[in-house]
Amino acid sequence: MKTITYNKLVRDMIPEIIEASGKKVVCETLNEEDYLKLLKQKLLEELNEFLEGDDVAELADMGEVMHALLEYKGVSIETFQRIRLEKLEKRGGFKKRLLLKEVIEE
């Protein structure tokens, strides 16, 4: 018998998917503090996977983690979108591909 230890946050259906393959799964439900900590770690994990592989699916995973973080914080998708659009209107987006090289003060 071989045991692989993960200790990481996974999507809700992952335990059932693993068990359907004939393996045994040990999980626990996280408290609020640990859940937030592991959501943040998961966001970083998904970002790193995107940076390493440049796969759009990793962006989708980041989006799912972002949705979970918003829900945890009690922020609706609509509120998040409003905040995003306000920042877009005030500061712009990234379509111009601008690289700020220097700011010279006189």
Mean pLDDT by 10 residues, the chain (106 residues): 94 97 96 97 97 96 97 97 98 96 95
pLDDT at residue number 10: 97
pLDDT at residue number 62: 97
What span, in angstroms and rounded, lies between the C-alpha atoms of 105 and 84? 30
**pTM, rounded to two decimals:** 0.87
pLDDT at residue number 76: 97
